Structure 1
Amino acid sequence: MPLILGMSVLLACQFAGELVARGLALPIPGPVVGMVILLVVLMVHGKVPTSLRLAGEGLLRYLTLLFVPAGVGVMVHFRLIGEDLWAIMLTLVGSTLVTLGVTGWVLDRLSRQHAVRTGRPGNEP
C-alpha cells in the first residue's frame, strides 16, 4: 500500500505540473514544474515520507531502462546526427563548460558563507 501512495503522490505532482505549465503557457515541461512542486512540498514537510521514498527507490532501480529508447533513437537517426555533429559537439562542450563554471562559482559562494557562519577561515577575499 505505501508504494501505491508514493506513486500517487508522484503522479499527482506531475499532473499538477502539467496543469500549471499548460495553464500558464510556460516554456517549461510539465514534469519539471511537477518536480519543483514536489520539492517545495517536501521542503515544507521537512522530510521524505516512507511511501514516497519507496516509490522513488523503485523507479531509480530501473532508471537505466529509460536510456534504451534514447540509444535506439541515436542509432536510427545516426545520419541526421552526423549532419549536425559539429553543432551538437559545440553545444555539448559549451554547456559542459558553462555548467562547470556555474558549479564552481556556487561552490565558492557557499564555502565563503559557511566559513563566515562558522567563524572558520576559508576562502575569504
Structure 2
Amino acid sequence: MTGEHRAYARNFLTKAEDYLASAEDNLTMERPTPAAGDAIHAGISAKDATVTALTGMTSKGQNHATAAKELRQALGRRNDASAAERALRELLSSKAEVEYGTTLITLVKAEALVRRARTLVELARQITLLGH
C-alpha cells in the first residue's frame, strides 16, 4: 500500500473514531437517535478505513448494501471477518429507520448499534495503525 493510501485509511479511521466518540456522548446524554446515527456513520467510516488499509481503496457508492460484502472480502479468512460483516450489516439495516423513519430510536437499540460500531472501529484501529 502506498503512503497516500495509508494516509487515506488513517483519515477514515479518524472519522470513525470521531463519530464513535459523538455516539458515546449522545448515549451518555440519552439522545438515542443521534447516537444511533453517529454509530452508523462510525461503522461506515471504520469499514472504509479497514478496506483501504487492506486493499488500497474502498468503494464510495450510495449503495450501502455492497459495503458489508466488500468488508468481508477485504478481511478474507480472518477470525473476525464474519462478526465484522454482521456488525456492519446490522448498522446499515438500521440506517433508513434512524435517518428517515418516523419512529424514535430507543436507548436499547442505540446502545446495540454503538456496540456494533465500537467493534468495527476497534478492528479498523488494529488493522490501520497496528497492521494486524
Structure with the bigger RCO (C-alpha within 8 Å, sep 6+) is 2
Give the alignment's TM-score, normalised by structure 2.
0.30
Give the alignment's TM-score, normalised by structure 1.
0.31
Q: From the CA coordinates, give the structure whose radius of gyration is larger.
A: 1
